[in-house]
Structure 1
């Protein structure tokens, strides 16, 4: 029987800070292969693999899809009190980089899937998509998206403390450029100041009003100017400046139309860095409602509808799978993502395995 905590610790021991996801997938691959899954690994860069595992049952109903990423963010500059790659435990906590975001979630997926695959389904099978490079824009999910066949609903085990999230805002990250003409700083009239141009442009963007109603759960869309750089020395007119802008969108907004409008408002060159649409599943959807009820039954939590503040691979996978109903629900603590001495509750991990087993059993007909 697969031990979710031991599997979390084994995954944590593999340093996947922007590399080596294939090595982490080698930890789970033997368990899935032994359970009867057909496995394929697709590398978008050498060593950076995304695993697609199919439990094919011969039924016509498309499989339930479970997904999580195995890459992590860097450790940060502050010293850790715990070894970030040891998976140390202390009371109800397991520590390490990525345990909440989201190697415990991946371990829960694999543990539940292996357990379910011991049964004889009457209705459908399972598909696991364990991705690389989610943290930098879902490159792994993008690389396999067009290789995935018809699918049932999607569950992503990003950190939610086992609360069922019905989606998340979209992320449209932009880079704005302004060009000018350099000249001596004592004769600015001979130049064309790119910093001044771009400062005016980002001020217009900061004052932009979206003209859409706040989403009843996600809230309003937002725009934040995150970085600004220009010029090389004080005594020259700068001929180049660049800024980055973080736009978070809500369900119903079209990114292509919004990008065109923001470029017009800015009046300078604007190009997308990350373009991940929002994800939203109506709580009244039959499958989503039944899955959320399973979550509440296992955790004893209330029924308030919520969405994530962060983006996930659902931005890529949900549309690629045909706009399937999607829930985000995993054992990690949302506020532990990316922090020093990151931890995940061992109790939440066990709950997550039970939640996933029940959701899988209900879909597969077990």
Structure 2
């Protein structure tokens, strides 16, 4: 069996749902160390260890993926979620597409790259924790100064081996309103926080993000995702809150956007930042994009952006703001689903694509 497929199976068998990434990092650190990489681990929290591996001199190409996976959900699985079963061309298991197959393909391609004859590009492998909950591990690595400036950044999130040129950003906020509690039979003695929040939600619904639609990423959007408030039916609520999901496009400043929203809401609500991840975009004629396409990756096409955000939102600036591309063997539609799978042949193809692209860059 192809070694990248076998490595993907090894990683899928390790339960890293919402934590436990240290057990996933261990075999990767061992392999990369054996291949000649200088490996450094970084503990984000107990049991939650990512790693950075560096090979060669000069400005590297950065290859990245995350080691955590999302929960299994309440629906029964037909294939054991950590069994790494292969049925025909499908490798089943939580994380198969999102994104342990991509991590495995990166590692095997890196091993092959350093063994090749002729010129070689310097490499930096960055494997993170906590991506699924807001790119926490990547932010921790950047804050610790562990991520190097690089020539280009490749994120192996699931794209079915098609080149995607970026993704929208995410600014998640919590709007909180406050009042004064009183007995529900005497509401005039209180100050109802839920009424205030209702007015805030109405203002959010009509809020204009204030930027033109991006030609490829589309419009900047806003959505209220959750609402909570009150303690019981016969009391005037003194606290209420709603979460707001703003999706942003390249060049949109999150600080200014938050100020505009606060002005629209007025004094009735305070805004707290939950997640702040900028948009990513690379032009389709960038040499890094062309190298991947020439190596066999699918061209960006008419829908060249990912619908999800990635660690690139955190890592791209630390890497120097160079070209950033998302390209991985997983199936995008399989991310987070019951009986998640990745096509075996895409894992094998991804290794060839990455290896050839690194050769072009060298």
Partner residue, 1:279: 280
1:191 corresponds in structure 2 to 190
Q: Per-residue deviation at 1:286?
A: 2.4
Residue of structure 2 in register with 1:319 after alignment = 317
Per the alignment, residue 149 of structure 1 pairs with 148
The 3 A distance-change label for structure 1 pair 182 and 284 is same
Deviation at 1:291, TM superposition (A): 2.4
State TM-score, norm by structure 1: 0.95
Give the Å deviation of 1:350. Answer: 1.1
- The aligned residue for residue 235 of structure 2 is 236
SS in 1 for 2:122: strand
Q: 1:71 to 1:6 in 2, by over 3 A?
A: same
Runs of 4+ in 1 over 6 A off after TM superposition: none
1-structure distance, mates of 2:333, 2:340: 9
Q: How far off is 1:200 after superposition?
A: 0.7
Tell me which residue corresponds to 2:163. Answer: 164
Q: CA deviation at 1:120?
A: 4.0
Between 1:182-191 and 1:273-282, the stretch displaced more is 182-191
Q: Which runs of 5+ in 2 are unaligned?
A: none
Deviation at 1:49, TM superposition (A): 1.1
The aligned residue for residue 260 of structure 2 is 261
Alpha-carbon contact 1:64-1:153 (below 8 Å) kept? yes
Retained in 1: the 8 A contact 2:295–2:354?
no
Deviation (angstroms), 1:140:
1.1
Offset of 1:123 from its aligned partner?
5.1
Matching of residue 99 in structure 1 with residue 103 in structure 2: no
1:345-364 alignment, distance < 5 Å: 345-363=343-361
Deviations 1:185-205 (A, max 9, x none): 111111100001011101101
SS at match of 1:220: coil
On the 8 A contact 1:12/1:86 being kept in 2, the answer is yes
SS in structure 2 of the partner of residue 5 of structure 1: helix
Residues 205-244 of structure 1 aligned to structure 2 (within 5 Å):
205-244=204-243
Describe the superposition over 1:265-298 as per-residue Cα deviations: whole angstroms up to 9, x where unpaired: 12310111000000001112222233233244xx
Q: Which residue of 1 aligns with 2:244?
A: 245
Report the equivalent of 1:46: 46
Shift of 1:215: 0.5
How many angstroms apart in 1 are the aligned matches of 2:357 and 2:51? 21
Question: In 2 relative to 1, CA 125–2 (structure 1 residues): closer, same or farther, beyond 3 Å?
Answer: farther
Between the aligned partners of 2:191 and 2:36, the Cα distance in structure 1 is: 66
Please provide the CA RMSD for this pair.
Answer: 1.5
Separation in 2, partners of 1:149, 1:67: 12
Instruction: Quote how far apart the aligned CAs of 1:97 are.
Output: 0.6
252-261 vs 117-126, greater mean Cα deviation:
117-126
Deviation by residue 1:117-163 (Cα, 9 ceiling, x = unmatched): 11245253111001111011111111212222221101000011111
- Structure-1 separation of matches of 2:345 and 2:247: 32
Counterparts of 1:263 and 1:17 in 2: how far apart (Å)? 36
Structure 2 Cα separation of the partners of residues 333 and 93 of structure 1: 11
Does structure 1 residue 135 correspond to structure 2 residue 132?
Answer: yes
* Partner SS state of residue 135, structure 1: helix
Inter-partner Cα distance in structure 2 for 1:2 and 1:31: 16
> How far apart in 2 are the matches of 1:63 and 1:152?
6
2:114 to 112, 117, 125: 117
Asked if structure 1 preserves the Cα contact closer than 8 Å seen for 2:292 and 2:354, the reply is no
**Mind listing any 5+ residue stretches in structure 1 that lack a counterpart?**
none
Residue 284 of structure 2 contacts residue 300 of structure 2 at CA under 8 Å; is this kept in 1?
Answer: no
Residue 304 of structure 2 is aligned to residue 306 of structure 1:
yes
1:3-14 matched pairs, under 5 angstroms: 3-14=3-14
* Matches of 1:311 and 1:44, distance apart in 2: 20
Q: 1:29 corresponds to which residue? A: 29
1:84 aligned onto 2:85: no
Separation in 1, partners of 2:196, 2:346: 51
TM-superposed CA distance for 1:82, in Å, is 1.0
- The C-alpha deviation readout for 1:79-112, integer Å capped at 9, x for no partner, is 1111100101111100111111000000000111
TM-score (normalizing by structure 2): 0.96
